[in-house]
Chain A
């Protein structure tokens, strides 16, 4: 690996200032499961690495007084996956985190890194978008809240200024009778990258037969992690039926904008969006019926 300078500040303002001052010459290091590989294998030049490992405010998972959940950007994949708070609050965030590589990768890789890396095929980010989570962005100018769904502007690109960092994610409290599911299609079960990923969140009316609110977010079938808005409109206020889920699956397929690449053709991906949207919704609805 090329020689670089390294800093591991303990103060957030110090980390932001270092990154802002050095601009494109500096990168923040979270788990390093992508960055280190890029620097070694692809010769990516990074003159200054700013490690986030000593920033206490970026760590931990906690529930707030208003019932919302805050997950530090430096929470590891395994921390998020195993967290009882995350599992109770929004199970599909735990499900998405479980799919990040192997156990070894999940011990290093972080939730902030999965979002910050801005890969269209990310597994842990789409559930955050579907749950209407916001990201706390810190920078030299202070803190701002940005919906996670607005953070990614394209593959590898975030709507952040130089020196801005994702400190944490806040997942709002969900209404009663809410169920969630993240499911992906991969040719092999483990250590693979999503061909299609679907994050579904469904809130039911008290009758447990009518959909009050639905959120469907797509992975690996668009340049970002978009809501399948037509599918969501199809579901809202409707009685649950096989036909409704089939209609939603078709609508989600039409909402997707997949490309053809080494993993799958666009046509195949679109068909899988249909299938996996139906499956994700069916599980989310089952979970909503038994949720308190």
Chain B
């Protein structure tokens, strides 16, 4: 049996029919075409799949899509407003805080939520805050540089070319 699913993704109301074993990560990437969220470990250890569910960071690899019924989901794509990257995204670009890039979306989403709740953490607190995000390239120094520039209020928001964030359209006659 398949299940009707209604939720909001990056502010857009979405209705789909899903199989219950589909994870939120797969639903976002494959059903909606939002490939920003990445799968690193698939076991909740690396944080690359982090998305916001009702404003709180969760592993989309440990969340069944059907468990997000009624929720507001925000992915790394949804952090861009008015064609500007948010502070954390802009700081990552300015600091070059990325190597292979797989961990970047998860780090950005997690740090955005953490710094929203804790705008002035110590370095130690900040490191604990993002302890659930692993960088396999071990590029932590530039990541910390980027996050400290956010804390210090030294980030200039970066404009990006308008990019239509269109979701894969709903298949005809599903709901």
Contact A6 B58 (CB under 8 A): no
Among B23, B44, B56, B59, which residue has its beta carbon within 8 angstroms of that of A1? B23
Given contacts A37-B43, A103-B114, contact A6 B66 (CB under 8 A): yes
Total residue contacts A-B, CB cutoff 8 A: 86
Q: Chain A: interface residue count, which band?
A: 20 to 34
List the B residue with the shortest CB-CB distance to A36. Answer: B62
Stretch of B72-80, B128-136, B147-155, B160-168 lying at the A interface: B128-136
Contact A104 B20 (CB under 8 A): no
Residues of B within 8 Å of A236, CB to CB, are none
Among B62, B66, B69, B131, which residue has its beta carbon within 8 angstroms of that of A191? B131
List the B residue with the shortest CB-CB distance to A78. Answer: B56
List the B residue with the shortest CB-CB distance to A53. Answer: B67
Contact A1 B132 (CB under 8 A): no
What does the 1/0 interface line of A255-287 toward B look like (CB < 8 Å)? 000000000000000000000000000000000
Residue B139 is within 8 A (CB to CB) of chain A in the complex: no
What does the 1/0 interface line of A87-119 toward B look like (CB < 8 Å)? 000000000000001111101100000000000
B144 to chain A, nearest CB (A): 15
- The answer for the CA separation of A33 and B47 in the assembled complex, in Å, is 13
Contact B57 A37 (CB under 8 A): no
Given contacts A41-B43, A102-B47, contact A190 B128 (CB under 8 A): yes
Among B117-139, those with CB < 8 Å from A are 128-129, 131-133
- The answer for the CA separation of A257 and B56 in the assembled complex, in Å, is 39
Among A168-189, those with CB < 8 Å from B are 189
Given contacts A5-B20, A6-B3, contact A108 B62 (CB under 8 A): yes
What does the 1/0 interface line of B42-57 toward A look like (CB < 8 Å)? 1111010010010011
Residues of A within 8 Å of B58, CB to CB, are 104, 107-108
List the A residue with the shortest CB-CB distance to B42. Answer: A40
Contact B21 A32 (CB under 8 A): no
What does the 1/0 interface line of A35-49 toward B look like (CB < 8 Å)? 011001100000001
Given contacts A8-B66, A103-B57, A104-B58, contact A191 B45 (CB under 8 A): yes
Residues of B within 8 Å of A191, CB to CB, are 45, 131-132
Residue B1 is within 8 A (CB to CB) of chain A in the complex: yes
Residues of A within 8 Å of B20, CB to CB, are 3-6, 49
Contact B44 A105 (CB under 8 A): yes
Residues of B within 8 Å of A101, CB to CB, are 44, 132
- The answer for the CA separation of A107 and B72 in the assembled complex, in Å, is 15
Residues of B within 8 Å of A37, CB to CB, are 43-44, 62
7 A-B pairs with C-beta separation under 8 A? A6-B64, A33-B62, A51-B64, A103-B129, A103-B132, A104-B47, A104-B57
Known contacts A3-B19, A3-B21, A103-B131; 7 further A-B pairs (Cβ under 8 A): A37-B43, A102-B132, A103-B110, A104-B44, A104-B132, A108-B59, A190-B131
Q: Which 6 A-B pairs have the closest CB atoms?
A: A102-B132, A6-B20, A190-B131, A1-B21, A104-B132, A37-B43
The interface of chain A, by Cβ under 8 A from chain B, is: 1-6, 8, 29, 31-33, 36-37, 40-41, 49, 51, 53, 78, 101-105, 107-108, 189-191
